[in-house]
Amino acid sequence: MSEELIKDVESKMLTTVNHLIDEFSTIRTGRANPALVDKLSVEYYGTKTPLQQLSTISVPDPKLLVIQPFDKSSLEEIEKAILNADIGLNPTNDGEVIRIPIPPLSEERRKELGKVASKSSEEAKVSVRTHRRFGIDEISKLKDDHSADDIKRLETQVQDLTNNFVTKIDELLLIKQNELLEV
């Protein structure tokens, strides 16, 4: 029971870090990355549909994204979704594909994106700490069945997990901030 609890807490913390990695992939760094647009929802025959289900997204060079829809009639809706997403990208539609040039980031925009990354990492840390609190609460319920030493050992394991995941989040943030500052 106690080992399952530790594994459950670790799994939840890992999910939080993976979510942060996904979030960081959507923060633009001046290089073309399909993650910038693949989660966008497009109005397709009256239904909100993820862009990745409607098209192929490719990166022919580091400063260009190309979106080739499976259905050419959805080109205008895809273009509209990209413009409405407010991600600072201007698509061009040639009737066959949508090309999105990735402009270089200004210094001011880089700092703004750094703040966005910081905010996301803080939210991830709060989530990790919430999972720690859940784990400690569950461990305290085991006091009747386990010795004080066992309870203390489990609490230490949960705290160690928390420290490791918070460190990992800090490392990911540092990597992302360095990516953003790279010209």
Q: Are residues 46 and 89 in the same domain?
A: yes
The interaxial angle of helices 107-140 and 2-25, nearest 10 deg, is 170
- Residue 26 near residue 36, CB atoms below 8 Å: yes
Residues 74-111: pLDDT tens digits? 888 888 888 887 777 788 888 889 998 887 778 887 88
Residues 24-74: pLDDT tens digits? 887 767 677 787 787 788 888 888 988 888 888 888 888 888 989 998 888
Q: Are residues 95 and 65 in the same domain?
A: yes
Q: Which two tokens stand for residue 180?
A: 């953003």
Q: What is the pLDDT of residue 25?
A: 81
Q: Which of 80, 101, 122 is the last residue of a domain?
A: 101
Q: Are residues 97 and 113 in the same domain?
A: no
Q: Which two tokens stand for residue 99?
A: 């090309």
Q: Are residues 72 and 9 in the same domain?
A: no
DSSP 25-70: HTS--SS--GGGTTT-EEEETTEEEEHHHHEEEEEEETTEEEEEES
Residue 92 DSSP one-character state: E
Residue 36, number of CB atoms within 10 A of its CB: 24
- Alpha-carbon dihedral sign for residues 149, 150, 152, 156: positive
Q: Which of 68, 101, 134 is the last residue of a domain?
A: 101
Q: What is the pLDDT of residue 88?
A: 73
Q: Are residues 139 and 114 in the same domain?
A: yes
Q: Are residues 52 and 83 in the same domain?
A: yes
Number of domains in the chain: 2
Q: Which domain holds residue 80?
A: 34-101
Q: Are residues 115 and 78 in the same domain?
A: no
pTM equals 0.72
CATH code of residue 52: 3.30.1360.40
